[in-house]
Amino acid sequence: MEFVQLLVVGLVTGCVYALSATGLVVTYTTSGIFNFAHGAIGMLGAFTYWQLTVGWGWPAALALPAVLLVLAPLFGAGVERVLIRPLHGASVDVTLVITLGLLLFLLGAANYIWDPATSRVLPELFTSGGTSIAGVNLSSQQILIVVVAVAVALALRTLFSRTRIGIAMRGVVDDPDLCAMSGASPARIQQLSWAIGASLASVAGILIAPKVGLSSIQLTLLVINGYAAALFGRLKSLPRTAVGGILLGIVVEMYPVYIAPHVPGFSTTATELTKAVPMIFLGVLLLFLPSARLRTSTAAGRIAPTVPGLRQSLVGGVGLVVVAVVLTESLSSDNLGIATSVVVLAIALLSLVLLTGYSGQTSLCVLTFVGLGAWAMGHSGHSVLGLLWGALLAGAAGALVALATARLRGLYLALATFAFAKGMDEAFFYFHLGAGQQLEIARFRLPGIDTSSASTFFLLCTLVLAVASVGVLAVRRGRWGRQLTALNDSPAACATLGVNTTVTKVAVFTVAAAMAGFAGGLYGSSRGIVTNNDFAVLGSLALLLAVRVGGINTITGAVFGSLTITMFPEIQKHVHGLPDKLQLAYLLTGLAAVSVGRDPDGLGGQFSRLGHHLRGLRTPPSSSPTGIPELEEARLVHS
């Protein structure tokens, strides 16, 4: 009987996942863009429905069609017209920046409109009635979820097989030019698909909100669980997507009763990992996706920012330390603590410059590695060896991630690292640092150096940042840096030149993760106390977007990203008139990423190109034959 009960409840849960994933697949198949903001759109739909019904007293019979048939479709169509349509032909990494920026912007906007400190409850659409199936009592809301899922599946099947517009939506995927020749408008068809996707996301949000509560972050992440169902359908098959959603729901409900207790030696811990099951499901799917079906991104045709030479790098590093010395004489102890956070976070973001900027490996889990370094530092007492232990632990985790995702790239690598970060949130940080827990981290001691002094510790961290910056630039100028650039431009061409792409990817992931882990030890030492919220996956998204805006392949981008993310809370705290509920880190970072995400090199790249142009005005043009620099670059990579 218990098995049947879990099976039925899992079916209901799976229908919600299927609804969410179906909308995601509809938008992806027509535009080729994976909408990372899909969960945030579902969250926004649920909050809007609450506002109409509970906040303004509208009847559900009027509010529901207003949200699902008017507001959500208009929002989806607007997103396609303003953000998605200009991305036609753009690389995957650019589209990721846009949709991730939209995700954070919608979270920030929702928290501003609906104060997260206020508790809200969305009532079920039907509170009375119900029925019993195979001895399992189902509420009217649960029955409604199944009915809606079946109705949506049948409606979409009819749309795509029996209607002219549905056939055109299928045709625009295969050949948009031929579809246009037949009289259809590919742009309008894609806009319609985004409108449908926004409605389906809102349906999922409204149906699941009465059970989990109206929390912007929780609702967004729960709708995001549908990613796994979408991957089960290979991001193109609606029937397979529905099956994947139902399987995921059943696995989630069965796991704590029939799977976790049978894990030898870890039955209690395994049972507590139920929330991580959707991300584990997603990770397993990514590992077994057929290689031929994976879309990849490309950076071809871009002109990378100029890399400073050794002399310029050393001068810049010395200048950074000199500025830090001056600041120690003018900043208060509290402000030195803020400046230390900026410096430490910049060290962590240098790992993204190396990993994502140079080699093109998209990572959405930088704070996970930072958290591992902080955790290791917290268990080492006052020993400076905690920094090395944290670097080794994070580096080992990075190597495992790289080995598991060796053949993934672009969107699929981003999804894999997102699944890893979300899984670590639920499976590691929550149990070691969450639910009211915190980790006290003692500041390490160095012989002859008073690290307890705020000014001394700030100078020490600045010195580490200067050395790390010089080292990262030296890597870019060297043979390994040229290999990383080749891996970014074209993995196939890189392999043709004799470079082992798997070894290169594992190496860069390991080094980057170790850098982030080392920064995590410094972060924990500077803060003194850390919690699980310090290393949440959404924080990793904000950091990636901030460094993208600053310039993902420049040292300037790392410093810019660290400065903006660290200073947003301070600005909000000290500027009169800004409400506490206004989350500038999400709102402004998302907005900036959406507005400048079409330039992958960010502000740092623009400054570099400006400097290159000004130097070109003073330097006579080279008489070298066209194409020689490219041939030389290929020769250097091979050597």
The DSSP line for 224-289 is HTTHHHHHHTTTT-HHHHHHHHHHHHHHHHHIIIIIGGGSTT-HHHHHTTGGGHHHHHHHHHHHTS
Percentage with pLDDT > 70 across the chain: 83
CA 126 to chain centre: 36
Burial (CB count <10 Å: 0-12, 13-18, 19+), residue 621:
exposed
In the predicted model, is pLDDT for residue 394 greater than 80? yes
The answer on pLDDT for 512 being more than 90 is: yes
- Do 283 and 327 lie in a common domain? no
Phi then psi dihedrals of residue 620, to 5 deg: -65, 145
Average pLDDT over residues 133-144: 78
- Measure the CA–CA gap between 145 and 124, rounded to whole angstroms: 11
Separation of alpha carbons 391 and 393, rounded Å: 6
pLDDT at 212 over 90: no
Indicate whether 638 belongs to any domain: no
572 pLDDT higher than 60 = yes
**437 has a pLDDT exceeding 80:** no
Alpha-carbon distance 523 to 527, whole Å?
6
Distance between CA 121 and CA 46 in Å, rounded? 11
pLDDT in tens, 459-501: 999 999 999 999 999 999 998 888 888 888 777 777 777 778 8
pLDDT value at 111 more than 90: no
Residue 630, pLDDT score: 42
Residues 275 and 315 in one domain: no
Q: What is the pLDDT of residue 631?
A: 39
Q: What is the CATH number of the domain that holds 273?
A: 1.10.3470
Q: Is residue 246 part of a domain?
A: yes
Rg (CA), the chain: 25
Domain count, the chain: 2
Q: Report pLDDT for 467.
A: 96
**Same-domain check for residues 101 and 207:** yes
Return the top range by mean pLDDT from 241-255, 374-388, 455-469, 540-554. Answer: 455-469
Which has more confidence, 460 or 602? 460
224 and 314 in a single domain? The answer is no
Has residue 626 got a pLDDT over 50?
A: no
Asked if pLDDT for residue 534 goes beyond 80, the answer is: yes
Gap between the Cα atoms of 399 and 370, Å rounded = 15
| Confidence class for position 201, pLDDT limits 50, 70, 90 | very high
Residues 87 and 95 sit within 8 Å (Cβ to Cβ)? yes
Same domain, 283 and 332: no
Is there a single domain that holds both residue 103 and residue 234?
yes
Q: Please tell me whether residue 498 adopts helix, strand or coil conformation.
A: coil
Full domain range(s) for residue 239: 2-288
Distances (CA, A) of 382 to 189, 371, 461, 529: 61, 18, 17, 14
Distance of alpha carbon 450 from alpha carbon 443, whole angstroms? 10
**pLDDT at res. 198:** 94
State residue 296's pLDDT score.
46
Report the SS3 class of residue 395.
helix
284 and 314 belong to one structural domain: no
Question: Average pLDDT, whole number, for the chain?
Answer: 82
Is 60 exceeded by the pLDDT of residue 445? yes
Q: What is the dihedral of CA 63, 66, 67, 72, to 10 degrees?
A: -170
Six-digit token string for 523: 């972060």
What pLDDT digit, counting tens, does each position of 447-460 carry?
888 888 999 999 99
Q: Does residue 472 fall inside a structural domain?
A: yes
Provide the pLDDT for residue 190. Answer: 86
**Residue that wins the pLDDT comparison between 171 and 396:** 396
Average pLDDT over residues 517-544: 91
Q: Are residues 456 and 499 in the same domain?
A: yes
Residues 153 and 219 in one domain: yes
Q: Are residues 283 and 203 in the same domain?
A: yes
Q: How far is CA 530 from CA 193, 223, 351, 430, 520, in A?
A: 43, 28, 21, 12, 10
Residue 222 lies in a domain: yes
281 and 342: one domain?
A: no
Structure confidence at residue 491 (pLDDT): 76
Calpha distance 546→589 (Å, rounded): 6
Query: Among 1-15, 63-77, 346-360, 620-634, whose mean pLDDT is lowest?
Result: 620-634
The domain boundary, picked from 288, 320, 338, lies at 288
In degrees rounded to 5, what are phi and psi of residue 337?
A: -65, -40
In a domain, 630, yes or no: no
- Look up residue 200 and give its two tokens: 């389906």
pLDDT band (50, 70, 90) for residue 581: low
For residue 377, tell me if it sits in a domain: yes
pLDDT in the model for residue 333: 86
- Of 533 and 584, the structure prediction assigns the larger pLDDT to 533
Of 258, 288, 318, at which residue does a domain stop? 288
Confidence grade of residue 613 (pLDDT, cut at 50, 70, 90): low
pLDDT at 521: 94
Give the pTM. 0.87
Decide if 298 is inside a domain.
Answer: no
pLDDT band at 623 (very low <50, low <70, confident <90, very high): very low
Long-range (24+ apart) CB contacts under 8 A made by 412-416 are: 412/286, 412/289, 412/294, 412/295, 413/361, 413/362, 413/363, 414/96, 414/362, 414/363, 414/364, 415/34, 415/227, 415/231, 415/282, 415/286, 416/283, 416/286
pLDDT at 436: 66
Same domain? For 124 and 207 the reply is: yes
For residue 61, is it within any domain? Answer: yes
The pLDDT-based confidence of 509 (bands split at 50, 70, 90) is very high
pLDDT value for 83: 87
Distance CA 589, CA 336 (A): 24
Per-residue pLDDT band at 317 (split at 50, 70, 90): very high
pLDDT at position 293, please?
Answer: 45
- Token code pair at residue 91: 């690389």
| pLDDT value for 307 | 81
Question: Would you state the pLDDT for residue 584?
Answer: 67
CB 272 within 8 A of CB 428: no
pLDDT of residue 299: 46
